[in-house]
Amino acid sequence: MQDDSTWVANYSGVLSLYEHDYTLPTADASKTLDSIQIETAGNEVVFGISGDPSAVPEPSAVILLLTVLAMVGVLIRRKIAAN
């Protein structure tokens, strides 16, 4: 196993860590993202990529909302019919 501390001890440059947020254009919001292509100058490293799950509603949340709206509609109709 290689001792990685040797590389750090001999490196005389500046080590930097950056975060970049990228928002898809509105026109592409309904599309499915299948892949990501990253072009670098050769000295960048990508540690991770993640998405914001709060930006896309889960199908179960949409179904729950529609169910609640349907139930409210039924209750309103029953109340009107009773009067």
Q: Does the predicted model carry a pTM greater than 0.85? A: no
Contacts of 24 (CB under 8 A, 6+ apart): 31, 33
Whole-angstrom distance, CA of residue 12 vs CA of residue 28: 43
Structural domain count, the chain: 1
Residue 83 confidence class, pLDDT cut points 50, 70, 90: confident
The closest alpha carbon to 51, from 16, 17, 24, 18, belongs to 24
Q: Domain range holding 27?
A: 5-82
| 58 has pLDDT over 70 | no
Q: Which residue has the higher pLDDT, 53 or 62?
A: 62
Q: How does the average pLDDT of the chain come out, rounded?
A: 76
Average of pLDDT values for 29-41?
A: 80
